[in-house]
Amino acid sequence: MIDIKFLRENPEVVKQNIRNKFQDSKLELVDKVIALDKENREIKQEVEALRAQKNKISKQIGALMAQGKKEEAEEIKAKIAADAARTETLSAREKEVEEEIKKIMMTIPNIIDPSVPIGKDDSENVEVERYGEPVVPDFEIPYHTDIMERFDGIDLDSARRVAGNGFYYLMGDIARLHSAVISYARDFMIDRGFTYCVPPFMIRSDVVTGVMSFAEMDAMMYKIEGEDLYLIGTSEHSMIGKFIDTIIPEEKLPQTLTSYSPCFRKEKGAHGLEERGVYRIHQFEKQEMIVVCKPEESKMWFDKLWQNTVDLFRSLDIPVRTLECCSGDLADLKVKSVDVEAWSPRQKKYFEVGSCSNLGDAQARRLKIRVNGESGKYFAHTLNNTVVAPPRMLIAFLENNLNEDGSVNIPKALQPYMGGKEKLIPKK
């Protein structure tokens, strides 16, 4: 959420940012907020003047009564009563205006970083760098669920009967591989100085609206019926929410946390061949990383975060690339975002396995996450990034480590988490 003072002083900058995100329908909101803000400040001034006047003339009543000027005293009382009614009307309107301002401000997109490429959607994202050599073997790579089925490692039919489409049972070696990747990712991040955390898997509505845009909320979140609780779509939500309405001593920054959680998503609009199987699902597990830091350090942390994901995938012999998200592909709260994509030998292209985002002070402003520094209080900056999210990670892992005989190599880094196994042998 943008600082209203910034919007008031830089309306054209805010409007151009809206144009850069191809959300021209929101342009009128800038002028609307400015008008409401002007009304709100005028109300505050009038209320303050009425209260000051009340304090001043109230003192005259006693003196007039003592002098026997009862009629004049009654006139002043009537004036005070009229002013009190006016103050009550103004205060009610002030509350309405502030609520309307807040609602609109939460839909106006955050100011994107100047380095973000301008583009309408993800088709205009820009490749930054490749890590590792993409290889297409001289044998056919089966679809990921077909690979898993050779190990008796997945049961989609039973999952449909139990929960519907978008769910799965992982079994045997594939289930163990899934857990091994999560455990390896946890230790990988701990070794890089992050504090491990298992957060709540449900959060209240004030946290939801603090960490994400309304559009994201509608497309992703499952609400618990009859309660003010939502299932998390990613542990970033509850991890950032951990700091809601707090004042952090500056010397306690940065806060660097890595968290494990299941994730639940509606996945509205998911469709297409590559969304069969376990690519887009309603429930999965993930290792996440978040940082709460000083504003001047967020750029440095942003580069560190996406590099962590690149390094983890490369340690498991998976080629990846980084992709700079263009303006139209950024969610409204994001200042800058980089996707990490893994190589798919079967598709002969890269696909998204993680996303790193710098949200500036947008989440902190909504959640009132402040820092107490030498020069006073200010809003922190927040960042998040996917460490690893099976089962998408499993797709990349299985395809890139598959042998012609159907066996799957286990990289050295992961072998301790797989009981020392160097290779998985299919049952079919």
In this predicted structure, which of 5-9, 61-65, 375-379 has the lowest mean pLDDT?
61-65
For residue 116, being part of any structural domain is answered with: no
Q: Of 44, 75, 105, which one is at a domain's C-terminal end?
A: 105
Q: For position 363, what pLDDT does the model report?
A: 96
Whether 58 and 127 share a structural domain: no
Whether 309 and 220 share a structural domain: yes
Domain extent at residue 328: 122-424
For residue 115, being part of any structural domain is answered with: no
Mean pLDDT of 95-119: 95
The two tokens of residue 343 are 């190589």
Calpha distance 347→108 (Å, rounded): 38
Contacts of 394 (CB under 8 A, 6+ apart): 144, 148, 174, 177, 178, 181, 278
Indicate the number of domains in the chain. 2
Whether 134 and 184 share a structural domain: yes
- Where are the alpha helices (H) located in 319-387, listed in sequence order? 362-367
For residue 362, being part of any structural domain is answered with: yes
Instruction: Provide, rounded to the nearest whole percent, the portion of the chain with pLDDT above 70.
Output: 95
Whether 79 and 137 share a structural domain: no
User: Beta strands of 157-316 (E only): which ranges?
Assistant: 169-170, 195-197, 202-203, 222-223, 230-231, 246-249, 255-264, 283-293
Whether 308 and 203 share a structural domain: yes
Whether 385 and 298 share a structural domain: yes
Whether 322 and 417 share a structural domain: yes
For residue 321, being part of any structural domain is answered with: yes
Vertex 191: Cα angle to 187 and 196 (nearest 5): 55
Whether 77 and 213 share a structural domain: no
For residue 117, being part of any structural domain is answered with: no
Query: What confidence category does residue 153 fall into, taking pLDDT thresholds of 50, 70 and 90?
Result: very high
Whether 126 and 37 share a structural domain: no
Q: Of 76, 105, 134, which one is at a domain's C-terminal end?
A: 105
* Per-residue model confidence as pLDDT tens digits over 293-314: 999 999 999 999 999 999 999 9
In this predicted structure, which of 25-39, 101-115, 270-284, 324-338 has the lowest mean pLDDT?
270-284
Mean pLDDT of 171-198: 97
Tell me the pTM: 0.89
Q: Of 44, 79, 105, which one is at a domain's C-terminal end?
A: 105
For residue 221, being part of any structural domain is answered with: yes
For residue 111, being part of any structural domain is answered with: no
**DSSP type of residue 329:** G
* Per-residue model confidence as pLDDT tens digits over 219-232: 789 999 999 999 99
* Per-residue model confidence as pLDDT tens digits over 5-23: 999 999 999 999 999 999 9
Residue 304 φ then ψ, to 5°: -65, -40
User: Distances in Å between the alpha carbon of 421 and those of 316, 392, 414?
Assistant: 14, 22, 9
Position 271 pLDDT exceeds 90: no
Residue 228 φ then ψ, to 5°: -85, 65
* Per-residue model confidence as pLDDT tens digits over 316-328: 999 999 999 999 9
Q: For position 30, what pLDDT does the model report?
A: 97
List the CATH number of the domain containing 73. Answer: 1.10.287.40
Query: What confidence category does residue 214 fall into, taking pLDDT thresholds of 50, 70 and 90?
Result: confident
Q: For position 274, what pLDDT does the model report?
A: 47
The two tokens of residue 420 are 């020392």
Whether 275 and 350 share a structural domain: yes
Whether 270 and 167 share a structural domain: yes
Position 359 pLDDT exceeds 50: yes
Q: For position 337, what pLDDT does the model report?
A: 98
Q: For position 382, what pLDDT does the model report?
A: 98
Query: What confidence category does residue 58 fall into, taking pLDDT thresholds of 50, 70 and 90?
Result: low
For residue 110, being part of any structural domain is answered with: no
Whether 101 and 161 share a structural domain: no
